[in-house]
Amino acid sequence: MRSRVTYLGLTLVASAQAFCVPGRCADTTVIEINNQGIQELAKKDYVSAIKTLKRAVEYDPEYTLARDNLAIAYNNYGLNKRAEPLFALACFCSAMSIQPANATTGQNMSGIIKLLGKNPRSKIDRDALIDQLEKQGMHQEAIYFKGIDPSHYGLPTIDVYALTFSQDDKIC
């Protein structure tokens, strides 16, 4: 059986000049922080990228490129941690809390649940995974996972900064 891994792409703003969308311009500081996070992500330094991109979102919560890139960082970190499927699931929960309708992250989450020997659509299996997340201290991820529709669409949102599981290089 061939496994399909889908990493998400990055959004880098080429210059630190103000980035404008209708009705709003991001200032150069948030663009510079975002770009630093993208460079870290390109080097597969996921922990640094997540920390930097969180800083960009904290600096300007309305700067959607930084939020999108943070979701990408969580998704790609989860893929990188497939050997630790429960941790990878927590990363995907973090990504989905930012971009609830991201089909790629939804597919990755479904795949990791299957890798854990569970059926993503089974309430019993999902409840067992919630218990496992709780036992590992991943309380916010468990709360988020409880609210996920098994189809991975129409998901509730939570504050991504409440996702606090952090141990050494594990930041999801």
Note the pLDDT tens digit of each residue in 93-114. 999 889 988 889 989 999 999 9
How many helices (H) and strands (E) the chain has is answered by 7, 2
> Which is higher by pLDDT, 137 or 157?
137
pLDDT at 65: 92
Mean pLDDT is lowest, of 40-44, 125-129, 157-161, for 157-161
- Considering its fold, how many domains does the chain have in total? 1
Task: Give the C-alpha separation, 53 to 74, whole Å.
Answer: 10
18 found inside a domain: no
147 found inside a domain: yes
**Beta-ladder partners of 26:** 19
88 found inside a domain: yes
71 found inside a domain: yes
CATH of residue 28:
1.25.40.10
Question: By C-alpha distance, which of 66, 97, 95, 86 is closest to 138?
Answer: 86
Kindly state the tokens that stand for 131: 């218990």
At a CB cut-off of 8 Å and minimum separation 6, what does 80 contact?
44, 46
pLDDT at 112: 93
What pLDDT digit, counting tens, does each position of 23-76 carry? 455 678 889 999 999 999 999 999 999 999 999 999 999 899 999 999 999 999
The residue segments making up the domain with residue 133 are 23-162
11 found inside a domain: no
**Beta-ladder partners of 21:** 24
Plot region of 154 (φ>0 → left; ψ -120 to 50 → alpha; else → beta): left
Share of the chain above pLDDT 90, in %: 45
Per-residue pLDDT band at 149 (split at 50, 70, 90):
low
Task: Give the C-alpha separation, 109 to 130, whole Å.
Answer: 14
Residue with tokens 């659509």: 121
87 found inside a domain: yes
Per-residue pLDDT band at 161 (split at 50, 70, 90):
very low
170 found inside a domain: no
8 found inside a domain: no
- Alpha-carbon dihedral angle through residues 87, 168, 103, 115, given to the nearest 10 degrees: -20
Q: How far is CA 95 from CA 27, 40, 108, 123, in A?
A: 25, 17, 11, 22
Name the DSSP class of 81: T
